[in-house]
């Protein structure tokens, strides 16, 4: 674990890490959080800040800071998380391979220690960068949008029953970002093109989002189908991000298995390399 701690400390002090944090904040401010059903206008976080006065915000429960913090995680933000998280480690890993620098790291420790520290540092740093950006955004949202106590009294009872504890949202975001760092980390074991490595998980997530959306729509047609409901639960690419809301804790078993399989495959492929500098 010492190797992981040293590598993680090096990663969080890099420009890539803080660019990921900044990109997370920017995307969250661009997420859609409110739709006016009378005018059909849709508002992102930044649009809502410029379009509504403080008094008008208090009349719409969606513009309560607690709802903004929760709802901003959807929209286009979740789709780009695989790219943001991967940017923490992919450029540097690809550069090290191009410069034949990996062999020196392996010689200083061992193949197993290097593989474990590289894998764990990458996915944890990716998850931490996205989560830190989310926490900073949440702090700004609390300052810029009205709190629960400031909202219209007629909506308070509904709001209190619909709000998830903030620490649970942060934990969900951390697990979600870590999981979507895994595909890129696995791809680094046999690909050298950083753009392919970061974009393939993006397209994979998009495909899963479309598939899960179709399954959800089919499950709403006619009578309740438990098979479709279970299938949606396991295919939904945002399952971890919404875990505290859906309470589908059984999916953690599937994600744990995928993590273990990915780590094993990563180590096997890396061990097949005749030259770790290549």
Q: Which residue has the higher pLDDT, 4 or 173?
A: 173
* pLDDT, averaged across the chain: 86
Q: Which residue has the tokens 């500098």?
A: 277
Alpha-carbon radius of gyration of the chain: 21
pLDDT at 91 over 80: yes
Q: What mean pLDDT is predicted for residues 87-94? A: 90
**Among 73-82, 225-234, 256-265, 268-277, which stretch is predicted with the lowest mean pLDDT?**
268-277
> Which structure tokens are listed for 64?
């309560």
- The DSSP-derived string for the chain is -HHHHHHHHHHHTSHHHHHHHHHHHHHHHTSEEEEETTTTEEEEHHHHHHHS-HHHHTT-GGGSHHHHHHHTTSTTHHHHHHHHHHTTTHHHHHHHHHTT-HHHHHHHS-HHHHHHHHHHHHHHHHHHHHHHHHHHHHHHHHHHS--GGGS-GGGHHHHHTTPPPHHHHHHHHHHHHHHTTHHHHHHTTT---HHHHHHHHHHHHHHHHHHHHHHHHHHHSSS--HHHHHHHHHH-TTTTTTHHHH--TTHHHHHHHHHHHHHHHHHHHHHT-S-TT-
Q: What is the distance between the alpha carbons of residues 196 and 186, in angstroms, rounded to a whole number?
A: 12
Q: Are 171 and 73 in contact (CB under 8 A)?
A: no
Amino acid 176: pLDDT: 97
Is the per-residue pLDDT at 205 higher than 50? yes
For the chain, what percent of residues have pLDDT higher than 70?
86
Structure tokens that stand for 113 in this block:
């220690």
* Token code pair at residue 21: 């944090």
pLDDT for the residue 174: 97
**pLDDT over 70 at 101, yes or no:** no
Lowest mean pLDDT among 10-19, 20-29, 80-89, 266-275: 266-275
At residue 192 the predicted structure's pLDDT band, cuts being 50, 70 and 90, is: confident
0.85 exceeded by pTM: yes
Identify the weakest region by mean pLDDT among 100-104, 185-189, 219-223, 262-266. 100-104
Residue found by looking up tokens 């505290």 in the block = 244
Cα dihedral value 116, 122, 124, 127, nearest 10: -150
Count of alpha carbons within 13 Å of 245, Cβ hemisphere only?
Answer: 18
Task: Name the band, by pLDDT with cuts 50, 70 and 90, for residue 278.
Answer: very low
Please state the rounded mean pLDDT for residues 159-181.
89
């Amino acid at each position: 674990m010492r190797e992981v701690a040293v590598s993680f400390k090096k990663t969080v002090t890099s420009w890539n890490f803080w660019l990921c944090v900044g990109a997370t904040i920017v995307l969250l401010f661009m997420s859609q959080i409110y739709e006016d059903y009378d005018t059909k206008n849709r508002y992102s976080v930044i649009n809502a800040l410029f379009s509504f006065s403080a008094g008008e915000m208090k009349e719409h429960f969606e513009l309560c800071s607690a709802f903004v913090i929760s709802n901003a995680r959807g929209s286009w933000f979740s789709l780009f998380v695989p790219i943001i998280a991967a940017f923490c480690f992919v450029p540097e890993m690809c550069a090290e391979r191009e410069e034949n620098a990996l062999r020196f790291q392996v010689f200083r420790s061992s193949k197993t220690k290097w593989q474990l520290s590289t894998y764990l540092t990458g996915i944890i740093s990716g998850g931490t960068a996205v989560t830190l950006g989310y926490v900073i955004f949440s702090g700004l949202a609390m300052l810029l949008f009205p709190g629960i106590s400031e909202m219209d009294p007629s909506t308070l009872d509904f709001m209190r029953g619909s709000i998830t504890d903030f620490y649970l949202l942060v934990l969900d975001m951390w697990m979600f970002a870590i999981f979507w760092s895994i595909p890129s980390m696995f791809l680094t074991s046999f690909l050298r093109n950083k753009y392919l490595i970061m974009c393939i998980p993006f397209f994979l997530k998009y495909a899963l989002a479309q598939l899960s959306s179709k399954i959800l729509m089919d499950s709403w047609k006619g009578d309740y189908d438990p098979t479709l409901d279970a299938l949606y639960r396991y295919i939904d690419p945002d399952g971890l991000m919404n875990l505290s809301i859906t309470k589908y804790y059984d999916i953690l078993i599937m994600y744990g298995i995928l993590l273990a399989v990915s780590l094993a495959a990563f180590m096997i492929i890396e061990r097949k390399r005749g030259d770790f500098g290549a």
